[in-house]
A = this chain, B = another copy of it.
């Protein structure tokens, strides 16, 4: 079957999925979870083969760790599917309910996007997460996984389809692509695919952003900063710096650069260096920093680099303004944090810094859909336009305007003797009871 046919088929199945009530979509999720549980041994065996082949081909350790589906990881992924059932239905939510005039009612109501194209690298558990998010949000999903995980992904999709077969969801709403060539073909299918979610390296994301007209959810770089103000509490500053850098070094919400106010630098730099180096962090500093610390110099390239590992650059600044100017120049609008006990300084920072997240006296690592309480996360966006920051199910839905009249025409409301609109917002729940 050609990719275009697969896409058309997914699109058609998605249109039917969109019409299913919340309860049927939740039942499908539960069937899916059960099928995955029952077939766990089969899934783990396929993954083992993938892992063995990948090792024989000399896969990197970090890629291997993502590819490897342990029993725990699988259990967690299945628990994630069950958790989705508990989340509120993102569809059919009435955002505007307005009487434009007598018997002319405007409703803005959430609905699915249609078909989501997801391109992900090695992690097979991502397949479980993405397909279940698709079902919950009433969207079809076309997946393209990494070639290392091909056996894992195929068995997972087979099992999920088997689970859906007993539900009202047409399994064709979920499709799996397996060859690399199909990525470029997928990126051209703007007729059938409404959103692309790339999950993988910055290079993958950038390539996709530059090669498709379909909207892309996500971000390439995550260059986050922690600014330690002159009125910072030293203990909080050190603890937050360590957490922001070392809690998960390859995450996008990890900091790459510390900005330290010169008035607090002599006191705090040694404390920071001690705590960070104890965690194995390599430090690089600008000239002033190196007057206090015996570390490598940081170059222009350092300010622009997302290390993704235990390296941290440090710059001493003479003011809040200089810190914000550095962030403006090098930040990727992901998450930026300030440590200060002065509430006015914190407010200035939070108001003026342009980023999806502006944090005061807490770790940048909190920038995450689960921690924000969104239940499920489809990605983090550094775009200026919404959805911005960690995106939950809301990133997978859109809305439409329904206008219900009784023969109303615009001529009545135009020109000489035009009738005026009422524009009266009604309470939707009350209206349902009438």
Which A residues have a C-beta under 8 Å from some C-beta of B?
15, 19, 98, 100, 104, 106, 113-114, 194-195, 215, 233, 235-236, 239-240, 242-244, 247, 346, 350-352, 354-363, 365-367, 371-373, 383-386, 388-390, 398-411, 413-414, 421, 423
Contacts and interface: CB of A to CB of B under 8 A. Distances in A.
A362 to B, nearest CB: 3
| Copies of chain A in the complex | 2
B404 A362 contact: yes
Given A100-B366, A372-B100, A411-B247, A358 B399 contact: no
Contacts of A384: 113-114, 194-195, 215, 398
A359 B405 contact: yes
Given A350-B402, A367-B401, A373-B100, A409 B243 contact: yes
B352 A414 contact: no
Given A398-B388, A399-B388, A373 B410 contact: no
B402 A360 contact: yes
Nearest to A246: B411
Nearest to A373: B423
A358 B243 contact: no
A371 B421 contact: yes
| Dominant secondary structure at the A interface | mixed
Contact of A360 (B98, B363, B405, B413): B405
27 contacts: A19-B352, A100-B373, A104-B362, A104-B366, A233-B407, A240-B408, A243-B411, A244-B409, A247-B411, A350-B402, A356-B400, A360-B402, A361-B405, A361-B406, A361-B408, A363-B408, A363-B409, A363-B410, A365-B409, A366-B410, A371-B410, A371-B421, A373-B423, A385-B398, A386-B398, A388-B398, A388-B399
A239 B366 CA distance: 57
B106 A385 contact: no
A274 to B, nearest CB: 17
Nearest to A239: B409
Nearest to A328: B15
Contacts of A408: 240, 361-363, 366
